Amino acid sequence: MIYTTGTIAISGNTLTGTGTNFTAAGSLIRNGCTVIAMTSPVQVFQITTIGSATSLTVTPAANPTVPAGTRFAILLSDSLSVDGLAQDIAETFTMYQRYMSGFADVMNGTSDVTITINGTAVTVPGQKSLAKKGANSDITSLSGLKTALSINQGGTGATNAADARTNLDLGSSATKDVGTATDNVLQVGAFGLGATLNSTNARPISPGSSDQPTGYGYWSATENIGAFPGAWQGVINVRTAGAIYSQLAMTGISTARMAIRVSNGSNGFTGWSEFYTTTNTTKASDGTLKAASPVARIVKSLEECQRTDIAEDGFSWCGCGTANAEAEGITLSRLDVGVYVLTGSAGLASEGWQLLPPMDPGGMGELGVVEAEQTESGGLTIRLFKRKYILSEEGEIVKTKGAPIDVPANSWIDVRLDMPEDSIWKTRASEASLELTEQPEDIQP
């Protein structure tokens, strides 16, 4: 075996190598090895000291000096002596010992490890500092990980639960359970809110019954509230523990009307109290609100009317005037100066106010005197007169009827009606009530 890597120069007893590695593990270069310099003529030397990877001491001294760049050969197995063999074996064991020590450092290292292989230093990461590659499905522990994985890396960017929730934009509800207990996050269906209605939690019971669930609940029931026409449906029940207090709310099946009643557990339920809205009130021609429905508004004609608000709040044109939804189906017509006919109703309202004369929109009072009478055909004839004041025999000023006049362009006549049982509104309400009673067991709220 010979070693020929690189070139040499020899001056005296000093050999200097270029591109050599005389100290490489396992190279078997040792004291006593023969060095042959390829000069002309060839010169032969023996190694007495290994100084470094590029320096040897040899004997005898070079004569003449060996120039730089000279090729050479070191005989590695030129001796079969016991000493030579022992040195070869020791060198080989030393090489393997260095390799094994380096590999052990790599396998157990938690940071970068530098090892020398065939005389070349190599730096590699310690295996305990690495996660396995691929899909990472075989990783069971990252005990050496000191830095939290970022959200982009699939982590939370934190080393504790509180900071992780902050980084993930989780609010205080993230630490609460879902349920009905105190301090829980309210779940769908808790206390009946958002639950699917069925035969258990939406029983067809009377809203006045004591058979009501504690807490918040929905139920399905119909009831006529006072003199208001049409069926009503319960939508929410609020009842405290022990059933001491209850609050019931009802809405109309086919109209946007709502009423409530309450109970303190000892005096029973109060009567129903209806909310006043644009559905069950009317705005008179002077802007004041009147509890009313069904209602019609009469003018001379659509073309001459100057009030744009006459057809607002659910009112629609039906001839020479408008009607709200509950009066749908009536017809208004003008026969003569100050004479108007209304057909399709059941007459003037049987309770409450019936007629309002045209009112000054500026708040200055009435603009005429209005009266109505039932016709033989079942309609209503409505007449409007000028206001006339006379002095009575007792010396009092009395308002009376003057000449017939048409409705002023800036106002209207309000008429409150009763409607027949087969009216469009009542028919629709009856159908809705029937549909409710025939609905399937499971009902979506």
Q: What is the pLDDT of residue 415?
A: 95
Helix (H) or strand (E) holding 114: strand 112-117
What average pLDDT does range 9-31 have in this prediction?
A: 90
Instruction: Tell me how far apart the alpha carbons of residues 425 and 326 are, in angstroms, rounded to a whole number.
Output: 5
Q: What is the pLDDT of residue 133?
A: 55
Please provide the average confidence, as pLDDT, over all residues in the chain: 78
Instruction: Tell me how far apart the alpha carbons of residues 299 and 317 are, in angstroms, rounded to a whole number.
Output: 11
Residue reference for tokens 């830095």: 147
What average pLDDT does range 173-192 have in this prediction?
A: 74
Phi, psi of 231 (to 5 degrees): -85, 150
- The tens digit of pLDDT for each residue in 392-406 reads 888 888 888 999 999
Instruction: Tell me how far apart the alpha carbons of residues 177 and 159 are, in angstroms, rounded to a whole number.
Output: 23
Q: What is the pLDDT of residue 66?
A: 96
Residue type present at position 158: A
Q: Is the dihedral of CA 392, 395, 400, 403 positive or negative?
A: positive
- The tens digit of pLDDT for each residue in 347-401 reads 999 888 999 999 998 878 899 999 999 888 779 999 999 998 888 888 888 888 9
Answer yes or no: are the C-beta atoms of 151 and 170 closer than 8 Å: no
Q: What is the pLDDT of residue 421?
A: 87
Q: Which of 213-217, 313-317, 410-414 has the highest mean pLDDT?
A: 410-414
Q: Which of 106, 139, 144, 99 is nearest to 125 (CA)?
A: 106
* Buried b or exposed e, range 320-346, using 16+ CB within 10 angstroms: bbbbbbbbbbbbbebeeebebbbbbbe
Instruction: Tell me how far apart the alpha carbons of residues 292 and 282 are, in angstroms, rounded to a whole number.
Output: 6
Q: Which of 251, 262, 259 is nearest to 212 (CA)?
A: 262
Q: What is the pLDDT of residue 412?
A: 95
- Size of the chain in residues: 445
3-state secondary structure of 143: coil
pTM equals 0.49
Q: How many alpha carbons lie under 13 Å from residue 316 in its C-beta half-sphere? A: 8
Strand partners, 125: 112
Residue type present at position 402: G
